[in-house]
C-alpha cells in the first residue's frame, strides 16, 4: 500500500453568492500518494480548482478534513499553516509573476518571505535557474519572456523553498501544445529527480495522458472516477469520463463522417465502432479475425496507437460492413471477449 | 514686480508640496487600509464602510467651504488662519481622502493572482503589502500623486484668494481687484508652466519605475 501524502476525508464546500448557493465540493474523499503525479480533470465549475486550493489552505472546506503530510490542516493555526505552505509549491495558469521584478528576483520572493540569508538564496536560485534552463534569462523581466519561460520562472519560484508537494493550477492551459509538452516534460523530470509529489488540475485529457500516474475525474463537485491513467483511458466507467476520452478521439473525426453519422441503422449504412485496446491485445490480429470468422469487410477509418505511462494504448474507428444486427451482436461479443473495449458510435 | 511674482510662486510651491507630502503620508496608509479591509486581505467590512463614509463626506465639501469650516482647527495648529502655512492645513486635509481613493484604485488594479500566489508561499499580510501590493502598484500610484498635485495647484490658487498667499492671491488681489491684466496673465502663465513641470516630472518618474 503506497503512503498517502494528501488525504481528503469527506470534504464539502458550498459558495453563497447573490443569495444563490453553489456546491463546489460534495463529499470528496481521495488519497494522493507520495511521489506520484496525480491529475484531477473536469470541466470548469467541476470543483477541481477548489479541491486543489484545499491542499494549501487557500480554500477551507465547510465540512470534512484535509490531511497533508499527516497533519490536519483545519487544526493548524494561521502561523503553522504558513509554515506548512513553505513546503507546498504552487504554479498557476497565468504564471502570477511580479512584473517589476526580474526572473531572478521573482524566484527569490518566497525566500525573502522566509527571511533566508542572501547567500542561501543565491545558491538555491542558481540551482533552479540551471534546472529550469533559465540561466541566461535571470535578469529578464516577465514581459520580456515567452509564456513557456514565464512558467519556468514560476516553477523555479515554487521549488526554491524545497517543497514536498507541487500544485499545478491549469499550468499549461495558457501555453501552445509544443510548449505544453516541454513544460510537462520538465515537471515529469522534477517529479523523478526530486521525488516531488505533483498534483495538477486541468480540463485537457491530453495533459493527463502525457504526465499523470493516476487521475481523478470530477463532475459537479464529486469525484466520479479515480484510478491509474491507463485504466481510466482504456475503460472509462463514468459517463463524464467516457465523454472526455471520446472527445479526445472523435475531435479528429472527419467532418464528412460526422455528417453521415446517425443513431438509426438504415439501409446502406454500416455500424461505426470505436474500439480501444491496451497492452497485449495490441499485438493480436483482432481485425483479421473478424474477417475470417464472419467474412465481413472492415474499413479502418482511423487508428491511433500511443504509449501512456509506458503502456500501449490503441484506439481505432472501424466501419463493419455487416448486414444484420445478429451478426453485429456476435461480433461485439467476440470483441468483448478479447478484452477490447468496444462501443457503437452510430451508423454511417 | 519680479520679486513679488517670484515670492508668490515660492508660496504656491510650498503650499502644493507641503500639502502634497502630508497627503501622501496620510493617504497611502488610508488607501492600504481601505483596500485591505474591503477585500480578502484583511476583511473588516465595518471598518471599510466607516472609513469610506468619512472619506466621502470630506470629499463632498466644496473646497472653499471646507477651508472656512476648518479655520478653528487651522488656528489651533498654526496659530493663525491667514497665510501660506495656514492654507496648507485645509489643503492637506482635503487632499488626504482624495489621494486615498485614487491610490486605492491603483492597489485594486494589482492582479488578484499575485496576492493568491504570495498567499500560497505563506506570506504574511504585511509582506503582501510591502513586497507585492506597493511595488506592483507603484507606477499607477505615481500617476495618481501627479493628478493630486495638479489638483492642489488649482486648490492653492483658491486658498490664495482668501488670504492664503501665493499666485492665486496675487492674481486675485493685484490682477482682478486692481484690474492689472498683465499680472493676471503672468500668474496664469506661471501656473500653466508649473502644471506642465509637475506632469513632466511625474512622467519621468513613471518611466523610470515601470522597468
CATH number for the domain that contains residue A56? 3.40.50.300
Domain membership of residue B193 as a residue range: 2-209
Residue A114, in any domain of the structure: yes
Q: Comparing A210 with A310, which gets the higher pLDDT?
A: A210
Mutation for testing the B interface, residue in A85, A90, A108, A113 having most B CBs under 10 Å = A113
Question: Is residue A74 very low, low, confident or very high in pLDDT (cuts 50, 70, 90)?
Answer: confident
CA distances from A280 to A209, A233, B85, B211 (A): 19, 16, 91, 59
Question: Is residue B187 very low, low, confident or very high in pLDDT (cuts 50, 70, 90)?
Answer: very high
* pLDDT at residue A323 is higher than 80: no
The predicted pLDDT at position A249 comes to 64
The predicted pLDDT at position A347 comes to 86
Residue of chain B with shortest Cα separation from A157:
B121
Residues ≥6 apart with Cβ < 8 Å to A339? A277, A281
Query: A9 has which bridge partners?
Result: A65
Per CB-CB distance under 8 Å, the chain A contacts of B135 are 98, 100-101
Residue A173 forms contact with B (CB below 8 Å): no
Domain membership of residue A162 as a residue range: 4-235
| Contact call for A109 and B114, based on CB within 8 A | no
The predicted pLDDT at position A162 comes to 95
Mean pLDDT of chain A, nearest integer: 90
| Contact call for B120 and A112, based on CB within 8 A | no
Q: Comparing A6 with A323, which gets the higher pLDDT?
A: A6
Return the DSSP state at A341: E
What are the pLDDT digits (tens) for A244-284? 887 766 656 677 777 788 888 887 888 888 888 887 776 67
Q: What's the number of domains chain A is made of?
A: 2
Q: What's the number of domains chain B is made of?
A: 1
A56 with A190, same domain: the answer is yes
ipTM of this predicted structure: 0.90
CATH number of the CATH domain containing B69: 1.10.3720.10
A226 with A269, same domain: the answer is no
Residue of chain A with shortest Cα separation from B127:
A113
How many whole angstroms separate alpha carbon B33 and alpha carbon B26? 11
* pLDDT at residue B48 is higher than 90: yes
To the nearest whole angstrom, how far is the Cα of A56 from the nearest Cα of chain B?
7
User: In a 3-state reduction of DSSP, which class is residue A69?
Assistant: coil
The predicted pLDDT at position A250 comes to 62
| Contact call for A96 and B111, based on CB within 8 A | yes
* pLDDT at residue B211 is higher than 60: no
Q: Comparing A313 with A123, which gets the higher pLDDT?
A: A123
Residue A244, in any domain of the structure: no
The predicted pLDDT at position A252 comes to 63
A230 with A323, same domain: the answer is no
A195 with A227, same domain: the answer is yes
A163 with A90, same domain: the answer is yes
Residue A75, in any domain of the structure: yes
A166 with A60, same domain: the answer is yes
Mutation for testing the A interface, residue in B106, B115, B117 having most A CBs under 10 Å = B117
* pLDDT at residue B92 is higher than 60: yes
A182 with A229, same domain: the answer is yes
Whether pTM exceeds 0.80: yes
Which percentage of chain B shows pLDDT scores above 90?
A: 81
* pLDDT at residue B126 is higher than 60: yes
Residue A319, in any domain of the structure: yes
Residue A198, in any domain of the structure: yes
Query: If you average pLDDT over residues A175-193, what whole number do you get?
Result: 95
Residue A85 forms contact with B (CB below 8 Å): yes
A230 with A295, same domain: the answer is no
Residue A243, in any domain of the structure: no
A9 with A157, same domain: the answer is yes
A219 with A261, same domain: the answer is no
Of A235, A267, A294, which residue constitutes the final position of a domain? A235
Asked if B63 contacts B94 with a C-beta cutoff of 8 angstroms, the reply is yes
A71 with A159, same domain: the answer is yes
What are the pLDDT digits (tens) for A59-72? 999 999 999 999 99
Amino acid at each position: 500500500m503506497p503512503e498517502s501524502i494528501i488525504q481528503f476525508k469527506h470534504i464539502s464546500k458550498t459558495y453563497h453568492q447573490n443569495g444563490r448557493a453553489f456546491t463546489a465540493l460534495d463529499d470528496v474523499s481521495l488519497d494522493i500518494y507520495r511521489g506520484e503525479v496525480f491529475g484531477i480533470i473536469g470541466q470548469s465549475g467541476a470543483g477541481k480548482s477548489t479541491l486543489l486550493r484545499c491542499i494549501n489552505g487557500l480554500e477551507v472546506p465547510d465540512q470534512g478534513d484535509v490531511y497533508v503530510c499527516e497533519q490536519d490542516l483545519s487544526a493548524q493555526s494561521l502561523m503553522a499553516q504558513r509554515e506548512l505552505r513553505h513546503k507546498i509549491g504552487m504554479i498557476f495558469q497565468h504564471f502570477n509573476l511580479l512584473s517589476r521584478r526580474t526572473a531572478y528576483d521573482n524566484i527569490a520572493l518566497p525566500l525573502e518571505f522566509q527571511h533566508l540569508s542572501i547567500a542561501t538564496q543565491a545558491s538555491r536560485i542558481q540551482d533552479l535557474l540551471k534546472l529550469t534552463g533559465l540561466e541566461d534569462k535571470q535578469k529578464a523581466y516577465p514581459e520580456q519572456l515567452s509564456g513557456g519561460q514565464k512558467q519556468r520562472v514560476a516553477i523555479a519560484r515554487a521549488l526554491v523553498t524545497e517543497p514536498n508537494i507541487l500544485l499545478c493550477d491549469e499550468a499549461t492551459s495558457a501555453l501552445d501544445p509544443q510548449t505544453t509538452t516541454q513544460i510537462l516534460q520538465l515537471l515529469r523530470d522534477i517529479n523523478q529527480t526530486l521525488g516531488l509529489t505533483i498534483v495538477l488540475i486541468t480540463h485537457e485529457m491530453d495533459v493527463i495522458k502525457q504526465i499523470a500516474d493516476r487521475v481523478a475525474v470530477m463532475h459537479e463537485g464529486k469525484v466520479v472516477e479515480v484510478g491509474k491513467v491507463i485504466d481510466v483511458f482504456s475503460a472509462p466507467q463514468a459517463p463524464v469520463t467516457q465523454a472526455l476520452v471520446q472527445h479526445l478521439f472523435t475531435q479528429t473525426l472527419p467532418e464528412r463522417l460526422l455528417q453521415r453519422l446517425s443513431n438509426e441503422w438504415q439501409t446502406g449504412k454500416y455500424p461505426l465502432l470505436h474500439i480501444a485496446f491496451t497492452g497485449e491485445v495490441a499485438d493480436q490480429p483482432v481485425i483479421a479475425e473478424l474477417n475470417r470468422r464472419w467474412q465481413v469487410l472492415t474499413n479502418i477509418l482511423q487508428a491511433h496507437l500511443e504509449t501512456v505511462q509506458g503502456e500501449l494504448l490503441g484506439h481505432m474507428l472501424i466501419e463493419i460492413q455487416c448486414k444484420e444486427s445478429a451478426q453485429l451482436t456476435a461480433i461485439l461479443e467476440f470483441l468483448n471477449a478479447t478484452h477490447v473495449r468496444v462501443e457503437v458510435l452510430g451508423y454511417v | 514686480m519680479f520679486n513679488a511674482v517670484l515670492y508668490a510662486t515660492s508660496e504656491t510651491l510650498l503650499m502644493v508640496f507641503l500639502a502634497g507630502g502630508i497627503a501622501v503620508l496620510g493617504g497611502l496608509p488610508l488607501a492600504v487600509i481601505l483596500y485591505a479591509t474591503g477585500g480578502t486581505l484583511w476583511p473588516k467590512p465595518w471598518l471599510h464602510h466607516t472609513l469610506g463614509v468619512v472619506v466621502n463626506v470630506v470629499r463632498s465639501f466644496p473646497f472653499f467651504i471646507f477651508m472656512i469650516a476648518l479655520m478653528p482647527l487651522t488656528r489651533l495648529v498654526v496659530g493663525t488662519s491667514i497665510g501660506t502655512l495656514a492654507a496648507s492645513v485645509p489643503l492637506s486635509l482635503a487632499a488626504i481622502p482624495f489621494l486615498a481613493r485614487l491610490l486605492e484604485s491603483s492597489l485594486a488594479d494589482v492582479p488578484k493572482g499575485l496576492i493568491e500566489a504570495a498567499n500560497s508561499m505563506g506570506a504574511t499580510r504585511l509582506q503582501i503589502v510591502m513586497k507585492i501590493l506597493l511595488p506592483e502598484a507603484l507606477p499607477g500610484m505615481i500617476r495618481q500623486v501627479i493628478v493630486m498635485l495638479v489638483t492642489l495647484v488649482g486648490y492653492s490658487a483658491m486658498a490664495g484668494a482668501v488670504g492664503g498667499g501665493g499666485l492665486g492671491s496675487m492674481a486675485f488681489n493685484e490682477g482682478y481687484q486692481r484690474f492689472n491684466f498683465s499680472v493676471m496673465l503672468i500668474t496664469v502663465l506661471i501656473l500653466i508652466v508649473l502644471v506642465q513641470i509637475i506632469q513632466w516630472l511625474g512622467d519621468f518618474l513613471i518611466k523610470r519605475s515601470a522597468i
